[in-house]
Structure 1
Amino acid sequence: MTDTPPAFILVRPQMGENIGAAARSMLNFGLDHMRVVAPRDGWPNERAVALASGAGRVLDAAMLAQDTGAAVGDCSFVFATTARDRDLTKPVYSPEAAMAEARARGLRGERVAILFGPERTGLENDDIALANAIVSVPTNPAFASLNLAQCVLLIAYEWRRACAAQVPVSTAMAGTEWATQAEVSALSEHFERTLDTAGFFWPEGKAPAMKRHLRNLWSRLPLTRADVQTFHGMMRQMVRWKERG
């Protein structure tokens, strides 16, 4: 299956530090195709290398372009990231929807590009006019401007989500496994026997309901085998302590 990842195009970036941080963000999420349009401080940029922190290969392979048109020339679909209303009629995608579209097109072998504007002003209308669609991040309307590297990180994260199914919640088992029903039942019986000996189930008429409540409690707990062993050990130690007393 053909899989063409998108190109992240930094248009007229002003700070080398942001270029380096953007490269690091891209590589964090499996992207390495960067293009840089007319960087203010020239190219290559030592500050970008310093901030890339292990992602220098993204900078080494980055394409340098003199203008936005040249940077997107080989792309079949272009997204422009902008937080401001523009006097241009274009479809507006959420970051999630945009990267899902980029993924679908990439699987067909198409080259998709995402434009990111300079830190101070963002993309100009002439840049956005070259794009097929806009990506709009749902930021605070009273403070909508994102740092360049932050915006790259956010879009790269959505790209990664589009590429790999993510489990919403998982549990790190720390070398153990979930307890079986038989193991939980044995634990419940251990507690019932010990508590019965200690006179916990009183008065006698309420004992069946109390035991049922206790069994229900154990069944609700997500116990691991290590948890079960710990509870058994606690109960045995309390009995030994009582016997020594």
Structure 2
Amino acid sequence: MSFWVYILRCADGSYYTGHTDDLERRIAQHQAGELPGYTHDRRPVTLVFSENFTDRIDALERERQVKDWSPKKKEALIRGDWNAVSEAARSRPRVSASLDPGSNRTDGIAAHPISSVRFEPVENNMPTPTPIIVLVRPQLGENIGKAARAMLNFGLTEMRLVSPRDGWPNPDAGPAAAGADVVLDGAQVYETLADAVADCAHVYATTVRKRGVTKPVVTPDEAAREIHGATGRSAYVFGPERSGLETDDVALARKILTVPINPEFGSLNLAQAVILCAYEWSKQAALTQPTVTDLGEPAAQDELEGMIGQFETLLEHAGYFFPPDRAPATKRTLRNLLTKPGWNHLEVRTLRGVLSALGKPRAR
């Protein structure tokens, strides 16, 4: 099944973004004024952009992302001008972030799965300088974009590229970066790894094996703690997608960074490797966390007793406690069940209202 994200240009020049599993029918509904809401009084409308996804979740996330874009950035997307999309993104004060296990796009442009966190790097509190992500001889622009996305999720913005196979800039990187334009725009290109890390005092070569080089070995967590406590610049170095870092690359590093991994399958893709390191570093960085929902104060014991008593009364009238000699044990089990969740005051009142409605049903 296909799901579509679409952009309409309205009669007043504004844009509307939506999603549907039947594009032709939905556009006809907008045109006919059958759908209440934004487009109803802004007809006629014109379909100016659409993207196809195989998963509804991906389509919903893409819709949320594009809705947040400025008209200028939407117009660049409509034209397919990714350089202009990047340019328009530079002034955006906020960044969408998500954990991205992959893409289900079917038409060659990366999809954008669920985005569960939105934050801004807190510049005044974030340790400086932040570590540099160095990609050595990366092969695919799409993977560079995904690495940039992984970086920005956790507050890293400085990327250095060593002899990218297809040159730089690469048009495939922008769509895969999913809005991490500030990383791609600032990416610097070097001919050799030695040049790329020349100003770094702490260089970590990421590899699942030592490749014949004897160096200290650390985990991402250990490396992150060292970086936060160190002076001077630090760099995480990642090798090409197909083969990883060569022995000569590893030899330039101060330490080897690796993770405990399945010995039968020790293969991480580039973005996964980057996000492991970036996440561990971010745990000690001042990034704004998602808002925590106040669950409310736990209900007082007398409120719970009232709810339990109400339950027992209703169940007695329904003949639930049978045989009578098992009633005490059954009530004890019921009490254990009802005291386990840690109900708050509002939840107890709500449930008691439900019980009252069940005990005295009335026509509406």
**TM interval, short-chain normalised:** 0.7 to 0.9
Structure 1 segment 14-25 matched on structure 2, within 5 A: 14-25=139-150
Structure 1 segment 59-138 matched on structure 2, within 5 A: 59-105=184-230, 109-138=231-260
Aligned-residue Cα RMSD (Å) equals 3.1
Taking a change above 3 Å as real, the CA distance of residues 166 and 194 of structure 1, as seen in their structure-2 partners, is farther
Report the counterpart of residue 180 of structure 1 in structure 2. Answer: 299
Rounded to whole Å, the distance in 2 between the matches of 1:146 and 1:210 is: 53
SS in structure 1 of the partner of residue 350 of structure 2: helix
The TM-score normalised by the length of structure 1 is 0.82
Letter in 2 for 1:18: N
Deviation at 1:87, TM superposition (A): 1.3
Rounded to whole Å, the distance in 1 between the matches of 2:253 and 2:198 is: 11
Q: 1:3 aligns with which of 107, 120, 128?
A: 128
Q: 1:144 aligns with which of 266, 272, 276?
A: 266
Deviation at 1:56, TM superposition (A): 1.4
Taking a change above 3 Å as real, the CA distance of residues 212 and 83 of structure 1, as seen in their structure-2 partners, is closer
The TM-score normalised by the length of structure 2 is 0.57
Contact 1:179 1:225 (C-alpha < 8 Å) held by counterparts? yes
Deviation at 1:9, TM superposition (A): 0.4
Structure 1 unaligned runs (5+)? none
Letter in 1 for 2:274: V
Report the counterpart of residue 12 of structure 1 in structure 2. Answer: 137
Contact 2:210 2:256 (C-alpha < 8 Å) held by counterparts? no
Q: 1:49 aligns with which of 174, 185, 196?
A: 174
Contact 2:299 2:342 (C-alpha < 8 Å) held by counterparts? no
Deviation at 1:194, TM superposition (A): 4.0
Deviations 1:133-163 (A, max 9, x none): 1111222222212222221122222222343
Letter in 2 for 1:112: S
Deviation at 1:213, TM superposition (A): 4.5
**Does 2:223 align with 1:223?**
no
Structure 2 unaligned runs (5+)? 1-124
Letter in 1 for 2:357: Q
SS in structure 1 of the partner of residue 235 of structure 2: strand
Deviation at 1:89, TM superposition (A): 1.2
SS in structure 2 of the partner of residue 77 of structure 1: strand
Q: 1:159 aligns with which of 274, 281, 284?
A: 281
Deviation at 1:19, TM superposition (A): 0.8
Contact 2:155 2:287 (C-alpha < 8 Å) held by counterparts? no
Taking a change above 3 Å as real, the CA distance of residues 90 and 213 of structure 1, as seen in their structure-2 partners, is same
Number of residue pairs matched by the alignment = 237
Rounded to whole Å, the distance in 2 between the matches of 1:189 and 1:139 is: 54
Letter in 2 for 1:52: A
Letter in 2 for 1:138: P
Letter in 1 for 2:204: F
SS in structure 2 of the partner of residue 231 of structure 1: helix
Structure ranking higher in strand proportion = 2
Structure ranking higher in helix proportion = 1
Deviation at 1:196, TM superposition (A): 5.0
SS in structure 1 of the partner of residue 135 of structure 2: strand
The percent identity for this pair of structures is 46
Rounded to whole Å, the distance in 2 between the matches of 1:140 and 1:204 is: 57
SS in structure 2 of the partner of residue 87 of structure 1: coil
Deviation at 1:118, TM superposition (A): 0.9
Contact 1:179 1:228 (C-alpha < 8 Å) held by counterparts? no
SS in structure 2 of the partner of residue 222 of structure 1: coil
Higher RCO (CA < 8 A, seq sep 6+): 1
